[in-house]
Amino acid sequence: MLSGLERLLSRRAWSIDNVTVWGIAGLNVVEFLSVESVEATDSILYNSVAVDEDAQEVRFTDLFDRRGNALPSEIKKAVVLVQPKDEFGAFTVGAIGNESFKIARDPNAPGPVVVDLFIVEMGE
């Protein structure tokens, strides 16, 4: 049986420096009613819309590790760890796919943030 360290070291791993994260998870939702009158029929419609920016999609094939090597286009069962570089960080949003993942910055940040990523392929 493999120890935890041996199991981690037996997987492919990448360290990516200085990734700029500009996306924001859709945190604010506006609910509204609208009234529509067509001929003699009045209709009331209810809807809700997210007003924030959307999370940023990052494809593995678009990333380069700290040695300058391109990541593969597919990473099976990836784990993405985000390391902030200042007081404002970022986080992954939703499930991490085999080809991409979504990431969003702290909504309190005044603008895009820069983070480092550590990606490990856990495999089958």
Distance, CA of 94 to CA of 71 (rounded, Å): 21
Would you put residue 123 in left (φ > 0), alpha (ψ -120 to 50) or beta? left
The pTM of the full predicted model, rounded to 2 decimals, is 0.70
Does residue 52 have a pLDDT over 60? Answer: no
Map residue 5 onto helix, strand or coil. Answer: helix
- What pLDDT is attached to residue 38? 81
pLDDT at 107: 85
The whole-number average pLDDT for the span 48-62 is 79
